[in-house]
Chain A
Amino acid sequence: MKTAGDCRVIKFDAVTKRYPGGHEALRSVSFAIDKGEMVFVTGHSGAGKTTLLKLAAAIERPTSGTILLNGQNIGKLRRAALPYVRRNFGLIFQDHKLLYDRNVFDNVALPLAIAGISGREAGKRVRAALDKVGLLHREKAMPIALSGGEQQRLAIARAIVSRPAILLADEPTGNLDANYARDIMELFRSFNQVGVTVIIATPDAAPSTTGRILHLDHGMLAS
C-alpha cells in the first residue's frame, strides 16, 4: 500500500537534535524532499546545517521527532542496520575526510570495497567517477599533492562512485574561488539531471543556482 509519504525520499517530522552538553542544534524541524529534487540548506555558521545532513544520513540520531528515508523510520532501526542505510547516500564532508595514506584511486575505491565490489568492475567504476570530476589523470597521485579544489573533486568522486540515489554535500564550495565554485555547482547540477537527489549545505544566503532553499536560523527552519 502506497501512502503519500512514500514518494518522499527524505521526510523530517518535528526533529530536534540536542547534543550532549545540552546545546540544541536543531529545533522541531519539519520538511520533505522529493525524489530528484535539488535542495540547498543555508544558514549562518552554527545554524545546524551539518547536523541536518548527519541526521539524514543516520550518522547522528535525533533527540526527538522522526526521520523517514523512503518511508522507513530510520530512528527505529537497529544499530547493525545503519551501515546499510548510509549506503543510500553519497556523502561529501565539510572537512573532506580523505585518506592521506593512499592514492587518489584507492580513496575512491573505498566505498566500493565496503559494498563488496573489487577487481576489474571496481577499477572501471573508479575511473568513471574520476573522469566525471576531471581527475582521471591524477589517479596515482597522493591526496596531499592535490590542490584544494582537486581535493574537493576527489571527495565528490568518492561520493558518487557507488552511484547513490542521494548526494549530501556539506559546503562543497567552501573555500574555493567563485569560478571554481561555479564549476562544482555545475557538476552537482549534472548529477541532479540524471535523477540523483542532491542536498547541498552552503553558507550563502542565496546560492547563485536555482533550486529549493531550506534556510536554518539558530536551529530553526525559516519558511
Chain B
Amino acid sequence: MMEWLHAHRLALLITLKKLRATPLAHLLMAGVIGAALSLPSGLYLLVNNLERAAGNVSVQPQITLFLVQNTPQEVIHTLEHKLRKHPAIEDINFIPRDEAWKALLERNGLEGTGGELETNPLPDAFIVHANDTDPNAVSALQQELSRWPEVEFAQLDAAWVKRLHALLQLGNKLVVVLAGLLGFALLVIIGNTIRLQILTQRDEIEVSALIGATNRFIRRPFLYAGTLHGLLGGVMAWLILHAALFLFNVSVKDLAQLYGTDFRLEPLGLQPSWILIGCAAALGWVGSYFAVSRYLFNLERP
C-alpha cells in the first residue's frame, strides 16, 4: 500500500515537473479542450436557463372559449351548467366582456386617455381547465367545445408552451449529441498528444520494459499527464463559459429591464460544474490509457 502510494506520488511529481517545463504547450492544450467543452456545456446552460424561465409559466393547458357576440344571459347560464358537468373539465372561469375590456385597457395603459373605442368589441368568454393535461386529450376537448353552437372560437392557450417544451427537449438532446461528438474528438486529441509524448520517451520506455518495468509502471506517468490535460481543459471550459455568461448578463440587463423582467442566465450549478470537470479529467485518462496501451501492444508484438 505504501509502495503503491509512493509510486503514484512519484509519477505525479514527474508529470508536474513536465508541466512546469512546458507551461505554454499545456496552456494551449487546455485552451483547445476548454473551447471544445464549452460548446456543449454552454448549450446546456442555455437550455437549463430557458427551462427555468419556462417553468414560471403555467404548464397546465387551458382553453379559452369565446362566445358568440351578444349571447343572452340565460344561454350563458345553461352553458356554464353544461361545462361544469362535463367529465373532462376540472374547472371553469367566466370572464364577462366588460371585465375583459377593462383589463385590456388597463394593461395597455389606455384607460381614460381618450383612446377608448366607442364600443366594446370583445365577446364573453369562459376559461376552461382540462382534467387531463395530456396534450392529445386537451386538444380533443378543444375540438369538441369548438363545435358547440354558442362557441364562436375555442383557443388552446398552451400551444406555445407545448412548443417551447418540445424545443427544450430537442435542446437537451442536442446537448447530449454535441457532448458525445466533442467528447470523442477530445479523446482523439488527448490520445494523440500523449502519443507524441510517448514518442519523445521511446528510449525510456524501451529500456524500462527491458529491465523489468510492468506495463502499469510505464503507463502511469502518461495517465497522469492525460488526466491533467483533461482537468485543466475542464477548468478552462468552466472559465470560458462563465466569462461568456458574464458578458451576456451585462448586455441582457438593459433589455430585460425594458421588458420588465429580471431575466438573466444563472451560472452552472455546483454539481454540473463538478461533472464537467470530472468528465474532462476522465476523458483525459481514457484517451491516454488507449494511447499508451496501443503503443505497448505494438512494442510487445514480435
CB interface residues, A 132-152, toward B, < 8 Å: none
Tell me if A118 counts as interface (CB < 8 A to partner B).
yes
Task: Give the residue name and chain of the A residue nearest to B300 (CB).
Answer: A79
Q: Number of contacts between A and B (CB, 8 Å)?
A: 52
Task: Give the residue name and chain of the A residue nearest to B206 (CB).
Answer: A97
Interface residues of B, dominant DSSP: helix
Tell me if A114 counts as interface (CB < 8 A to partner B).
yes
- What per-residue 1/0 map shows which CB atoms of A57-93 lie under 8 Å from chain B? 0011100000000000000000110011111000101
Tell me if A22 counts as interface (CB < 8 A to partner B).
no
- Contact across chains for A84 and B210 when beta carbons are under 8 A apart: no
CB distance from B213 to the nearest CB of A (A): 4
- Contact across chains for A110 and B212 when beta carbons are under 8 A apart: no
- Contact across chains for B203 and A97 when beta carbons are under 8 A apart: yes
Tell me if B115 counts as interface (CB < 8 A to partner A).
no
Q: How far is the CA of A150 from the CA of B302 in the complex (A)?
A: 33
Tell me if B163 counts as interface (CB < 8 A to partner A).
no
Task: Give the residue name and chain of the A residue nearest to B302 (CB).
Answer: A20
Please tell me the number of chain B residues within 8 Å of chain A, measured between CB atoms. Answer: 19
Q: Which residues of B contact A101 (CB under 8 A)?
A: 203-204
Please tell me the number of chain A residues within 8 Å of chain B, measured between CB atoms. Answer: 25
Task: Tell me which of A20, A80, A83, A158 contacts B212 (CB under 8 A).
Answer: A83
CB distance from B81 to the nearest CB of A (A): 84
Q: Which residues of B contact A60 (CB under 8 A)?
A: 302
Tell me if A113 counts as interface (CB < 8 A to partner B).
yes
- Contact across chains for B212 and A86 when beta carbons are under 8 A apart: yes
Q: How far is the CA of A84 from the CA of B217 in the complex (A)?
A: 12
Which of the 9-residue segments B3-11, B177-185, B270-278 touches chain A? B3-11
7 A-B pairs, CB-CB below 8 angstroms? A60-B302, A84-B214, A97-B206, A100-B203, A111-B211, A118-B10, A158-B211
Binding site for A on B (CB under 8 A): 3, 6-7, 10, 203-204, 206-215, 217, 300, 302
